[in-house]
Structure 1
Amino acid sequence: MRLYIAGQTVKSVAAIANLKRICETHLARRYSIEVIDLTEAPHLAVRDQILAIPTLVRRLPAPIKKIIGDLSNEERVLIGLDIHSDGV
């Protein structure tokens, strides 16, 4: 998964923390997170067509899934990423 952020804003920090918590709870060591700070590498936004930040992109398994926001709504994130609450 790739999490696109813009610096260390409140929303960016919250998105990172929320994503790590959700992944540890529901995917326990079966995930990889790449945090991309667009203030340092703005050209990388083109790769996943990022229009808003923070944005989480899951490329595998297909289809590509995107979630915009600070990822504070765990149920929305689980549904958006097609992760079942039992971790399957």
Structure 2
Amino acid sequence: MVKVTKKKEEAVGEKEWELRLYVAGETPKTKKTIENLNKICEEHLKGCYHIEVIDLTKNPQLAAGEQIFAIPTLVRKLPEPIRKIIGDLSATEKVLVGLDIHPRK
């Protein structure tokens, strides 16, 4: 099952962020990771992001194409270059640095 959350671009000139989150099942850790990602996106990328959640228990073949070896893994597809973050995304500051997201003021 692939869940997609899409947000319309609100600010002119903002980059469009395409994020893919690879998870395994609907576990409490998965739910917490999705919650953390949504919070980060709403606070720092509001209006210019697209999140695709891929459950590898239902689509395991999708892990090979992205070279996913641990879960949960967040992949930033756009803007390039591609970046990956492994874990539940609870360390907001590390996620922002890892994805090269500049906090909004």
| Partner residue in 1 for 2:43 | 25
More strand, by proportion: 2
| Partner residue in 2 for 1:2 | 20
- The offset of 1:10, in angstroms, is 2.0
The C-alpha deviation readout for 1:4-58, integer Å capped at 9, x for no partner, is 0000122211110000000000011110000000000000001110000000000
- Partner SS for 2:84: strand
- Structure 1, gaps ≥5 residues long: none
Aligned AA (2:77): R
Question: Could you tell me the percent identity over the aligned residues?
Answer: 62
Aligned AA (2:56): L
Partners of 2:103 and 2:80 in 1: CA distance: 19
- Partner SS for 1:29: coil
TM-score by length of 1: 0.94
Structure of greater Rg: 2
Counterpart of 1:53 (choices 65, 71, 86) is: 71
TM-score by length of 2: 0.80
- Structure 1 residue runs of 4+, over 3 Å off? none
Partners of 2:34 and 2:104 in 1: CA distance: 22
Q: Is the 8 A contact 1:11 1:69 kept in 2?
A: no
Counterpart of 1:42 (choices 60, 65, 79) is: 60
| Partner residue in 2 for 1:74 | 92
Count of aligned pairs between the two proteins? 87
- Structure 2, gaps ≥5 residues long: 1-18
